[in-house]
Chains A and B, each alone.
Chain A
Amino acid sequence: DGGITQSPKYLFRKEGQNVTLSCEQNLNHDAMYWYRQDPGQGLRLIYYSQIVNDFQKGDIAEGYSVSREKKESFPLTVTSAQKNPTAFYLCASKAGGYYGYTFGSGTRLTVV
């Protein structure tokens, strides 16, 4: 079955650490996205990529970094510069034309 796989499901980060969230898709979609979800704030766009080796900042990119070396993969690194990283992180992808996003099941990141 085609879909998006996010791992891990739960992640704990110590203060000052960088952590990387994985996102892999086998839908052959060109565009991929990272969103952050906080209670009462909906989904906020962190980064997106429409083709391999190219990506753009979203609305809240500070403290995050991404890479897009393969079509299937779009990992997100939460750096120590991100002051409030505790949140639910969602990866999504989209086919060309218009059919809406397909989302992964999310990674819940907690700072300990």
Chain B
Amino acid sequence: QKEVEQDPGPLSVPEGAIVSLNCTYSNSAFQYFMWYRQYSRKGPELLMYTYSSGNKEDGRFTAQVDKSSKYISLFIRDSQPSDSATYLCAMDSSASKIIFGSGTRLSIRP
């Protein structure tokens, strides 16, 4: 079993829809949870970062962490075609080495 599981998609939604992206994990030592966005043929960029459980909001993006269920989510409100990318969840226990999910490919239809 992988330490981090993420549905690869592809996920296609109409513009303006709410998008929900999710990851599950098995290592209860993870404390730092991140979401990265990667456009085609580019390096990933850090989108959201959360320490331990709870919610964090930044504009149209909300990250949720439920450590009791070992489940993290990223919500995108009012989705735009420019949000079309691959989204990678990532997590870390010791702040030295990050474990990444395999990524979910998201497409927003105009």
Contact = CB atoms under 8 A, between A and B. Distances in A.
Contact of A42 (B41, B46, B49, B100): B100
Interface string A73-112: 0000000000000001010100001111111111010000
B34 A100 contact: yes
Interface residues on B, range: 20 to 34
Given A43-B88, A43-B100, A48-B97, A101 B42 contact: no
Contacts of B96: 31, 48, 50
Does more than half of chain A's interface fall in helix, strand or loop, or is it mixed? strand
B95 interface: yes
A32 B6 CA distance: 25
Nearest to A100: B46
A90 B43 contact: yes
Residue of A43, A48, A104 ringed by the most chain B CB atoms within 10 A: A43
A40 interface: yes
B32 A98 contact: yes
Contacts of A6: 43
A104 B45 CA distance: 9
Contacts of B102: 40-42
Which 7 interchain pairs have the tightest Cβ spacing?
Answer: A103-B43, A42-B102, A43-B100, A100-B46, A98-B95, A105-B43, A42-B100
16 contacts: A33-B97, A42-B6, A42-B101, A42-B102, A42-B103, A43-B100, A90-B43, A90-B44, A98-B95, A100-B34, A101-B44, A101-B46, A102-B46, A103-B36, A104-B43, A106-B41
